[in-house]
Amino acid sequence: MSLREISRRLGISRQTVHRRLQAFEKIGVFKNLKACIAGDYVDEFVVAIWGRSDSTSVDSCLERLGRSRFTWRVEVLGGNSLFVMACLIDMTDLDGYVRFVRDAAEMPEPTVGIMCYEDGISPFDVEKKQSYKELSPLDLTIIAALQDDARRPVAEIASEIGVSTKTVRRHLDDMISDGSMVYNQPWDLTSGEDMFTLSYVKLRSGADKVRAAKRLLSIDPVHFCYLRSFSNIPGFLVGIISSKNLREIRKILLEIAEDEDVLTVTPDLIYDERMCWDADSRSPGVMSHSCERAEKKGARPRLKAG
């Protein structure tokens, strides 16, 4: 989302938006703004990997996990457990990434789930765009130039890749308008905000997961608004409950447990979170190595991504 769009939606000036973003960066909430290829363009799918970590340093563990171009976000839970979400392009990437998480997170027995984003459970999912204008080698070169710092001056990029500023602006406008390129900003969970509880929900055999999930979400749409299923784990859901009030979280958990289709619900408090990069309206974009991953669609950048 552009600064202009944010300012329009909030009814404030772009200068005010820019100053607030800088303030968030200064206190460590937001990291550097990045540009990337939209997840839908490269047909990404989301996987979750969770389990107990043997690491003695959470910060080191998060830093290692963030080195992979696939890692999207990491939730730090009680009992030294981690919940890692990643975006892959094809199934051949899965085994290698699971091995990476096992080593980087020191997670000897990870559980792997392939998330469903088109099962109709979440009210926030939007229909996937069916086609995009194919990105050109110059498009990929421009994205590569912005993948570490999307605030670089257009004139600087134009000089670096040997085209006019007008050409760079036109390509950027076209990619943003088409939705093939998005901006994102990694961020960390800040202290003093709502408490977040990750909840593992096991359904009874034969239960309609979509119907059951929608019924559970209706318990409290404000504080319980995220719930996902997995294509490879039948009858299993993962949700997030947020509230400043622990009593409210407990009430929601009790109502989940009492549902006719629920066998068990296991909560786990999230006490830290690392967003390695942000998400667009449906599925996450690519933080880095954008060009390498888009080359699977046939285009190659003029310059290799740094």
The CB density around residue 13, as the number of other CB atoms within 10 Å, is 11
The CB density around residue 87, as the number of other CB atoms within 10 Å, is 26
Residue 49 lies in a domain: no
**CA-based nearest residue to 97, from 120, 70, 76:** 70
Per the structure, the complete domain to which residue 5 belongs is given by: 1-29
Please give the pLDDT value at position 15. 77
Residue 161 lies in a domain: no
Alpha helices in the chain (DSSP H): 3-10, 14-26, 58-65, 94-104, 137-146, 154-161, 165-178, 209-217, 246-257, 290-294
Mean pLDDT of 254-269: 96
Please give the pLDDT value at position 215. 95
Q: Is the pLDDT of residue 3 over 80?
A: no
| Tokens, residue 69 | 């171009």
Where is pLDDT greater, at 305 or 207?
207
Low-confidence winner among 50-59, 150-159, 278-287 (lowest mean pLDDT): 278-287
Low-confidence winner among 51-55, 117-121, 188-192, 199-203 (lowest mean pLDDT): 188-192
Confidence at 304, pLDDT banded by 50, 70, 90 = very low
Mean pLDDT of 85-111: 94
Residue 42 lies in a domain: no
Model pLDDT for residues 158-206, shown as the tens digit of each residue: 999 999 999 999 999 988 888 788 776 655 555 556 789 999 999 999 9
Please give the pLDDT value at position 120. 82
**CA-based nearest residue to 179, from 9, 17, 276, 36:** 36
Please give the pLDDT value at position 300. 46
Q: Is the pLDDT of residue 283 over 50?
A: no
Residue 262 lies in a domain: no
Distance CA 177, CA 136 (A): 15
Residue 3 lies in a domain: yes
Distance CA 221, CA 211 (A): 15
Residue 278 lies in a domain: no
- Contact present, 284 and 87 (Cβ < 8 Å): yes
Please give the pLDDT value at position 299. 47
Residue 9 lies in a domain: yes
What is the residue-averaged pLDDT of the chain?
81
Residue 34 lies in a domain: no
Distance CA 4, CA 147 (A): 20
Helix (H) or strand (E) holding 268: strand 262-275
Sign of CA dihedral 251, 256, 260, 263: negative
User: What's the domain count of the chain?
Assistant: 1
| Tokens, residue 276 | 């390695």
- Please give the single-letter amino acid code of residue 67: R
